[in-house]
Copies of this chain bind each other. A is one copy, B any other.
């Protein structure tokens, strides 16, 4: 019989996807350049030339077996070693290859992390606003995702709500900083306070509460923003990284899971990932892609365009009277809609071909998300549409 839980999921269409499909369809009517499509977090700046050059050179240089043969089940040793060294160099950590497991992007890393530290029925806490895919990522393992309501003042953590929700069944806390959808970066003070609570509660409950830190936007941090490396502040941190955003390669499906060397059983957890892979059909990212990222660990796409876009939108939104927290990174901004119902608000904005995503599915109703990973010139033109929309409606 077909598994009913997946049949049921077909009914619940993703708002992001629906709006994105609308934007593309509308583009066919009036020209896509005239649709201010802020729906999808698909990086717009091209992949660095060095990345494509790496692939071409690797094909010329490596043996067929090295390039196309099975990679070790935890990832290619040289690649894991290079990743560990890059983390140590950049963040003063002490990783070795034994703490690194190569994955198919951050989604693959989270799939392993959750299975590593929970069994069905355990709870995983995350903080709104949150990436809605966390729902299926966690719940399909049998663990249960619980959402801590947002701190709408600054989109740091709502600690009061967090402390009231954490309990004996909490086996992991899942954070995402820089954050999709808010664009906010957790400050050192936030991460320290979170770590303090986790240590205290781990003691109280007699088991480690793991911190799963989802960091695909780690490299996209704006000028002067305090962006701590999370694992530095909490031993039992499992870092989930993706190269999708920093190198503009989401289609390549490459990232890694890193267990803080200070975490008890850190190296054992990595070999356990190899066992988890067998059941979820993962078996390593493509070898050629592993090699290519290992040669581009200190490179990013020209991500400066995202800060430019953010500033244009932030200035426009604030001058139009929106309540909005200034993003510290990513390519998202997360203003409060000008009426309580963000769905109604976004529907009206659609009439001006200004397409944002209402944030009900992000756990913050009343807000909307703009993914400004689009051309700066288009961002500028979109401001005119936004102005007209606001003036004619509010």
Contacts and interface: CB of A to CB of B under 8 A. Distances in A.
A208 interface: yes
A314 interface: no
A107 interface: yes
A271 B42 contact: no
A327 to B, nearest CB: 22
A47 interface: yes
A7 interface: yes
A253 B68 CA distance: 9
A104 B104 CA distance: 10
B265 A2 contact: yes
29 contacts: A1-B119, A1-B208, A2-B268, A2-B272, A3-B117, A3-B118, A6-B116, A7-B272, A47-B64, A52-B59, A55-B55, A64-B248, A68-B249, A69-B250, A69-B251, A70-B250, A103-B281, A104-B281, A111-B281, A111-B282, A251-B284, A252-B286, A253-B283, A253-B284, A253-B286, A254-B286, A282-B282, A288-B289, A289-B289
Given A171-B1, A281-B112, A6 B275 contact: yes
A279 interface: yes
Given A3-B117, A7-B272, A52-B59, A108 B252 contact: no
- Please indicate which of the listed interface residues A69, A208, A254 has the most CB atoms of chain B within 10 Å of its own CB: A69
A68 B55 contact: no
Nearest to A17: B73
Contacts of A139: 279
A200 interface: no
Contacts of A289: 286, 288-289
A266 to B, nearest CB: 11
Contacts of A47: 64, 67-68
Contacts of A111: 279-282
A329 interface: no
A241 to B, nearest CB: 13
Contacts of A133: 278
A118 B3 CA distance: 6
A86 interface: no
A251 B70 contact: yes
A108 B285 CA distance: 12
B283 A107 contact: yes
